[in-house]
Chain A
Amino acid sequence: MRLLHVLLLLLAAAAIELAPRVAGAGGDNLVFDIRAQTGHFEPSELVVPANKSFTIRVTSAENTAVEFESFELHRERVVLPGETITVLIPALAPGSYTFFDDFHHDTPEGAIVAK
């Protein structure tokens, strides 16, 4: 009987711990990842839900700094080699929003597509 109580307590604690993360994954705190590596962005096209704010984690796997920039989104951030930064993006109207590496213009542009 005592073992059952312990198990129930452990389950309750796990539920309390996991609840916020599950809620976040449901759409209140959307997070997407973009990686700059070997001269391109991965993914090059990121599909996000329209009319919902979200966060992009940008990681540079390059040997030099990259500048994650988007004129349409009004964002400009330097990412040092090996670093991951978070970029806050407000709710977007449906459409395509390009981004590029302003330090390496030969890197193909990427796009965030809000649907």
Chain B
Amino acid sequence: MTGVRRRTKILVAVVAAAFLAIQFVQADRTNPAGRGDLVAPADVSRLIRRACFDCHSNETRWLWYSHVAPFSWVIARDVSAARRRLNFSDWTEYTADPETKKHKLQEIVQSIAGGDMSPWYYRILHSGARLHPNERELIIRWANQEATTAAP
């Protein structure tokens, strides 16, 4: 029995030490300057900011748990990947090529309509990322309209 207790204590100590040690490996949590924000009607812009900006912009709110490894690594990786795919802080870069802008808008429609965005595991902790059906409809209508005018 004493041996089991001793082994448990050692295991807990090792896990705690490892947890402390990985805190020294910090993730990249920067918010670089954008090249030109999304231009959209105020109600649409407000919704996109609330539901999408934490990952798809350079205005990420790095909450407390994003400073704790290993969660910080996963969050930083996800944000980086999301920004590469669609970054609302660089929106004017897409608009410089109208067909790219149209493509991005079509992807927004697909993601929102299909319920892929925002991801379910993200919505659990972020109530602001949950979109009501009428809010989804508002974004989809705007994106479809913009796509039509972006490129013939």
Contact = CB atoms under 8 A, between A and B. Distances in A.
Contact of A77 (B87, B90, B103): B103
B104 A76 contact: yes
A85 B102 CA distance: 14
A84 to B, nearest CB: 13
A75 B84 contact: no
Contacts of A78: 103
A4 to B, nearest CB: 48
Contacts of B100: 74-77, 87
B99 interface: yes
A100 to B, nearest CB: 11
Nearest to A90: B96
B93 interface: yes
A112 B85 CA distance: 19
A88 interface: yes
Contact of B99 (A71, A74, A77): A77
B97 interface: yes
Contacts of B94: 74
A89 to B, nearest CB: 8
Interface in B85-136: 85, 87, 90, 93-94, 96-100, 103-104
B85 to A, nearest CB: 8
Q: Which 3 residue pairs are nearest across A and B when measured between Cβ atoms? A: A74-B93, A71-B84, A88-B97
11 contacts: A74-B94, A74-B96, A74-B97, A74-B100, A75-B100, A76-B104, A77-B97, A77-B99, A77-B100, A78-B103, A89-B97
